[in-house]
Amino acid sequence: NAGVTQTPKFQVLKTGQSMTLQCAQDMNHNSMYWYRQDPGMGLRLIYYSASEGTTDKGEVPNGYNVSRLNKREFSLRLESAAPSQTSVYFCASRREEGNTEAFFGQGTRLTVV
Amino acid sequence: SQKIEQNSEALNIQEGKTATLTCNYTNYSPAYLQWYRQDPGRGPVFLLLIRENEKEKRKERLKVTFDTTLKQSLFHITASQPADSATYLCALGNYGGSQGNLIFGKGTKLSVKP
């Protein structure tokens, strides 16, 4: 049981380049999330998908887009990377919204130069 | 806006002692609170959940309390071990729509010295 799988684990981009972070979960969870984690800022929600076919903005959505490709997969796209997007990105899933636990991937460390 | 504070950025204790971590919140009435452990280079891992109508929850050496009047949760690790060294995050949540999303604190880095 792999849980939540993110790819890639590390990435270096030049300013203005684009890339897509991939996330897949094998737990048949309805809800999926993308967070960024920065020193001193904690985990901040970028986008979430409460269920297949829906996506919504979180706390810090600017500069990002998402796609809930199917129930398993939720991707995060940076169209034109900026140094301010240097961060560690985590994908998470939950069985549903509400008092259920979140399962996190191992993270993607992104550096934009 | 909602605010979550984990009082200490870092906490250093001696092996065998009880570690107590604090999570305070303002401008929010959570229906439940969760605690996670995060090791360097890894994603957070769920530890415990406590609901607003519960005062205390235990799991092995872990104990969580939830005081909705004080707007505070305490997370205790008894008989601490060096292997307990990690960053611990609290997260608040509610029910319904975007309220169901977890709001995370910045974490407390616990170091247990042998």
For residue range A20-30, list pLDDT tens digits in order: 999 999 999 99
How many angstroms separate the Cα of B51 from the Cα of each of A100, B30, B105, B114?
11, 8, 17, 34
pLDDT confidence band for A98 (50 / 70 / 90): confident
Question: Whole-angstrom Cα distance, residue A87 to residue A39?
Answer: 9
User: Tens digits of per-residue pLDDT, A83-95?
Assistant: 999 999 999 999 9
pLDDT (mean) for B19-26: 95
Residue A58 contacts B where some CB pair is shorter than 8 Å = yes
For chains A and B, what is the number of CB pairs under 8 angstroms? 61
pLDDT confidence band for B1 (50 / 70 / 90): confident
User: Tens digits of per-residue pLDDT, B56-103?
Assistant: 999 999 999 999 999 999 999 999 999 999 999 999 998 876 767 899
Angle at A20 between CA A15 and CA A23, to 5 degrees: 140
At residue A46, the pLDDT reads 97
Three-state DSSP class for B70? coil
Taking the CA of residue A21 and the nearest CA in chain B, the distance in Å comes to 15
Residue B95 contacts A where some CB pair is shorter than 8 Å = yes
Look-up of token digits 């796609």: A67
Taking the CA of residue A79 and the nearest CA in chain B, the distance in Å comes to 25
